[in-house]
Structure 1
Amino acid sequence: VPISLFAQTKTETKNIFANSYDNVNDFEKILNPNQVKTLNETLKSFETKTGNKIIIVTISATPNYRDLTNYSQDLDRYLRIGLKIDPSILFVVSKELRQIQILGVDKIHDKLTNQEIESIVNTYVVPELKKGDYYKGLEAGSTQLVKKLQ
């Protein structure tokens, strides 16, 4: 009886993710160009002032992944190791999957705990996403994260 084994190699992992990332990466196309531009400018300004980089990624699916959590963890690893981008916070949102994942690095935990991140998401982001206003949710969540990290 033939046995098939499948493994995900580093090359396959790299091909799942884009070759470059800005502060806002709207792969799901849930924002208009002006919204992407405004969020990018806000987050770049924050990064310049504080050294903390926030990256937002929207995706419609998680190819080769069981869930958004595993996808987000591998994306974070790919950004750090593969692209040498060191986000303080990685904010992954999927309208299609109706999920949010936020990863924060250890260096921010003295200013922002996981519980505080969860509170920001539940208070400022989720209510707007439920209304279908993805820009307002991402903008409000980013603003609150920025306030906590300053």
Structure 2
Amino acid sequence: MHELTEEALVAASVDVVWREFTLADLLAEWFWPPRFESTAVVELRELGRWEVRSVPADLAVEATVLTFEAPRTLRLAWRWAGEEHATDVEIDLRPAADAATRVIVRHSGFTSGEERDQHVDGWSSCLQRLVDRHGGPPGEHL
């Protein structure tokens, strides 16, 4: 199986970043570009729903919460709407210097390198929106 790891340094505390991933209204604001008019559902419990949808883009992630340890880790069974194959997403939040948070996304279970590669840009741009939402990389806006 193929996997990827993407990281970002966000100029916000672990608690703030945790809320960005676990409160539906906040998640919908940044996860995909604004033109996608995203909506989200987050049921923060084992086997709860974690979903992001876009009617204009005809796109949806229908994930299931596998485990979580607030405010540090969230593990999801990740499935695109209409697909049967699920992959595994683990989001790890670690305190960093200057009250920032290192976000580490490990996405595994891809059936091919091509499938994995299709997700690299998606996660990279997603995490960049989160960085931008909090004023850019720590230190740059001081």
Provide the TM-score with structure 2 as the length reference. Answer: 0.35
When Rg is computed on C-alpha atoms for both structures, the one with the higher figure is 1
Provide the TM-score with structure 1 as the length reference. Answer: 0.33
Which structure has more strand as a fraction of its residues?
2
Which structure has more helix as a fraction of its residues?
1
